[in-house]
Chain A
Amino acid sequence: MLDRTVALDIVLSTLRDAVDQNGGDPASVTEETVIVGPEAVIDSIGVVSLIVDIEQRLEMDHQVSVTLANDRAMSQRNSPFRTPAVLADHIIATESEGLAS
């Protein structure tokens, strides 16, 4: 079972890489940085990349195979990708609900 702290570290690390590649300041990324929407630090393609990169890191480094853009995510009123903290919660929920393969 993945620990939330580990999940959050992966999200923050991956998001910092993405922000850095876009010429932003990776040190400014926190648990509450906005990932999706008008205030987002990355664009929509960046979000796609981010989610895939996180899935791949979970897979390769922790043998956790999850599809984060799952039915659970799509049915929520608020995006489970909106901040690193929320996304980390979503990763843990996805794994615990057996949505991982």
Chain B
Amino acid sequence: MQTAAAKKEPRLKLNKKRGDQLFSAALVLPTLLITTVFILVPVIDSVIKSFLDFRVRNIISGEPGQWNNFENYTRLFQGGKLLPAIGVTLAFVVGVVLAQFVLGMALALILNSNVKCARFIRSIMMMPWVVPTIISALIWMWIFQPQYGLLKYFVSVITGGAVNDFAILNNPDTALLGVAIAALWKQIPLTTLLLLSGLQNVPEDMLEAATIDGASRTKKFFAIVIPYMKSVISIVVSMAIIENFKQFPLIWTMTGGGPNGSTTTLAILSYREAFVSNNLGSGAAVTTIWMLLMIVVIFVYNRIFRKEDMD
């Protein structure tokens, strides 16, 4: 007489390595699908469209775009707007990322130095980061408003009425600075918080040993603190570069790319081509150039960072 166990069908047996591989593949599958569907496919689609005459009417009618012999690219280079936009984008990214890192690190060091009410300050400090970007832009537009803005009022009071028409966003030489100030106000809190978490992971015993050896504060900062924070700094700066490279709502809301094109970044140019001119092919061409530029910048950044890695 057979037992119940003996009656069961034999189970499909995998060796442990094979099973682990299948298990890992199953776990990676959702990420792969998400990356493919939402990142890879749109990027490839955008690059293809950048070579086509593809307008809004193509979307509405369902007609495919027509190959236009690189016209989107040639028109952009000949139109005289692309190169200034690249220049403005790089100036904005470099300026904001540098200022963001320096100011964020300064604030993190202050908060890490047992200052009174550090927890409270940390909580308050995060408020700009929580505010939606569009709202930030509107707040700063109001502050910078040249006729009835808060900044104009303060400048007027401080100068005793001598400067009554201070208008940072109206001057092509200062408009980008105005937008950068708004961007810094919004982004510094997160930078500070991340750098602060990095600072708190620097081993105390190393710092104490250096102190006993007579190292100055500056020496300890550059020889111990910074190297130990390398991974956090790398992430913070990468995030800042990407965030500011793709910065759109702040600039579009505050200046619309003006005055006189002085704040027209690649993001603004891409939007104008795609959604003001309704020329999606041309917008895709700007986006492709923008993406390539971003890849180059991140690649260079990673190379530089790797060279300086003490490990």
A, B in one complex: no
Interface, chain B (partner A; CB < 8 A):
none
Interface, chain A (partner B; CB < 8 A):
none
